[in-house]
Amino acid sequence: MDFGPATFIKAEQVHEAHALETEAFSPDEAESLETFQRRQTEAPELFIGLYEEGTTNLIAFICSTRSAGPTWTTQSMKTHLPLGECVCIHSVVVAKQHRKKGIARKLLSFYETHLLTLNPKPSKIVFVCKENIIDFYKYLGYSYLGPSSEVYGSARWFSMEKLL
Ligand SMILES: CC(C)(COP(=O)(O)OP(=O)(O)OC[C@H]1O[C@@H](n2cnc3c(N)ncnc32)[C@H](O)[C@@H]1OP(=O)(O)O)[C@@H](O)C(=O)NCCC(=O)NCCS
């Protein structure tokens, strides 16, 4: 399967990303469509997706906000600080049928390069993930910081970061 270049998610495409979010996360973890719409309005430069080549099928996306840091917090899910030092990733999702094909690796690599072009340039990427995904991010060069004290849904979360 080929995919086109990474592209900014437009306002009218937000519902497509939200459909992938609700497929990937349990109801107590998936974010609302309203939250996605707010992020696209406030931080469109941090909401990026990949479409299947020649189609309108969204197959992956990453959505973030900026914060003062130094780690990911649930507050960063609600508040975007345009000049914030840290990029707080809230979702990295690949459609179920397209996983294990290197798509997340490619999209994250593009995303990291894109972040270097922002003004002001963020100093690092921070986020939390579940235990079973820690090795995936380590493989992609992220550092594991330990269990997060943040409470979100019923899962346990672990802090990761990458300096830019
Ligand atoms: C996690 C997720 C984004 C990975 O997407 P993906 O496109 O399947 O990942 P990739 O194929 O790019 O994997 C990149 C590399 O990491 C490895 N990898 C993938 N998942 C892994 C895991 N859970 N543990 C360790 N390594 C993993 C792959 O083998 C691959 O290695 P390779 O490049 O040598 O083949 C995808 O499974 C997903 O959308 N999950 C649901 C949402 C989620 O949990 N997101 C993360 C938290 S926000």
Spans of all domains in the chain: 7-163
Q: Which residues line ligand 1 (CB under 6 A)?
A: 24, 91-94, 99-105, 129, 132-133, 135-136, 139
What pLDDT does 28 receive?
92
Instruction: Check residue 154 and give its pLDDT.
Output: 86
7-163: CATH number = 3.40.630.30
Assign residue 158 a region (left: φ > 0; alpha: ψ between -120 and 50; beta: otherwise). beta
Full pLDDT tens readout for the chain, 164 residues: 678 789 999 999 999 999 999 999 999 999 999 999 999 999 999 999 999 998 899 999 999 999 998 999 999 999 999 999 999 999 999 999 999 999 999 999 999 999 999 999 999 999 999 999 999 999 999 999 999 998 888 889 999 999 99
Atom of ligand 1 nearest to the CA of 129: 47
Show the tokens assigned to 58. Answer: 């969204």
94 CA distance to ligand 1 middle (Å): 8
Q: What is the DSSP letter of 117?
A: T
| Cα of 16 from ligand 1 centre, angstroms | 20
Residue 104: its H or E element: helix 103-115
At 5 the pLDDT is 86
- The pLDDT score that the predictor gives to residue 1 is 67
